[in-house]
Amino acid sequence: MYIINLSVKNIRIIKDLHLSDTKRVNFILGQNAQGKSSILEAMYILATSKSNRTFKDKEFININEDICEIKANVKREKRPDCEIEIVIDKNHKKAFFIDNAKKTKIKDVIGELNCVIFSEEDIEMIKDEPQSRRNFMNLEISQMFPLYTEEYANYKRTLLQRNNTLKDIKNNIRPSYDILDILDLQLSIYGAKLLIRRKKFIEEIAPLSSEIYNIISDKVGDFSLKYSPNPNIDITDEISTQRALFEQISAKRETDLRLGTTNVGPHRDDLEIKINNLPVKNYGSQGEGKSAAFAIKMAEINIIKNITGEYPVVLLDDLMSELDYDRREKTMKIAGENCQIFITTTHLDKLDYNPEDTSIYYIKEGSLLK
């Protein structure tokens, strides 16, 4: 899978930028705060409909504009080539187009382009709050299983309704336990789907992550990645998982009513990331955190290939400052053997590359230099 050309309008400081003549390896060079990362962010938004840098759409739309547009022509091996376009405004409205045909659902667009991104935000994910690791699972699973986007939206909507109902009952505004009974059942149905998807994804990515960590760190057998579901139940088939989740939600109802919020469910999941059986978020060094984050992200490449039949586009944001020379070389080998790569950097820093297979773009103040 290759991005042939890219058009970005009104993303952060970028007003109107076009990348053409892309090749297998693409360097985007410039000083800090010139818009390099915003180019990769735009590609990731095109792949997932979400930014890798913020939860709020209005934060990546140019401050002086109301609408942003991202468009790319994508060359694919297993499916016909296509043109993908997303238009987003500050009122959170999104319009999706495939070959100029408007699509009404996000799931009809996600998966048309697959991207794996490695950035500072991924490093922070290792030691950040559980919400960051849940966001990681949500975004990556949605690329491989577009229906997951709809399943997650159903769960979030039901969770919000349940929390509002709990607050109403607590405050004697609308003490309707019948509604709560219905919402408990719906939450368990939608929640079970998320638990099953997440468990399968982590079980597939964990051994690959361990292998890659051993390669880039020159260590063996000390890295582990484990799904930590909430509640801690046996996740097997969908019906059994629904039943177990419903029982746990019901058991916590009195606590939920007292606190006015739902305390059980996949909205409280986490990932256990360990080195030498110790949590990286508590005991890992900065270097170990970087290697752990990189190993997890690079493992996605093969997972996406196994599921979709195609290698994703790899986005490496400021690779030079985040990894030492040896790890950079290993990174280029792991990511670059089969994938198209876009790398942002302030300088090439002695990285080996083939000029015939490489494009270099220079960016300043959100614009490409001629």
Express each pLDDT in 211-221 by its tens digit: 999 888 866 66
* Token couple for 135: 């966001």
> For all residues of the chain together, what is the average pLDDT?
91
Q: Give the Å distances, CA to CA, from 336 to 193, 245, 298, 311, 328.
A: 34, 42, 11, 10, 11
Express each pLDDT in 287-346 by its tens digit: 888 889 989 999 999 999 999 899 999 999 986 666 667 777 777 777 767 899 999 988
Express each pLDDT in 45-85 by its tens digit: 999 998 988 888 889 999 999 999 999 999 999 899 999 99
pLDDT (0 to 100) of residue 58: 87
Q: What is the dihedral of CA 58, 62, 64, 65, to 10 degrees?
A: -70
In the chain, CATH 1.20.1050.90 sits at 128-308
% of the chain at pLDDT higher than 90: 70
Domain boundaries 1-114+310-370, CATH class: alpha beta
% of the chain at pLDDT higher than 70: 95
Radius of gyration in angstroms for the set of CA atoms belonging to the chain, rounded to a whole number: 22
* Token couple for 122: 């991924």
User: Is the pTM here over 0.85, yes or no?
Assistant: yes
In the chain, CATH 3.40.50.300 sits at 1-114+310-370
pLDDT (0 to 100) of residue 337: 74
Does domain 128-308 fall under CATH 3.30.930.10? My reply is no
Express each pLDDT in 228-268 by its tens digit: 999 999 999 999 999 999 999 999 999 999 999 999 999 99
* Side chain identity, residue 160: L
Express each pLDDT in 274-287 by its tens digit: 999 999 999 988 88
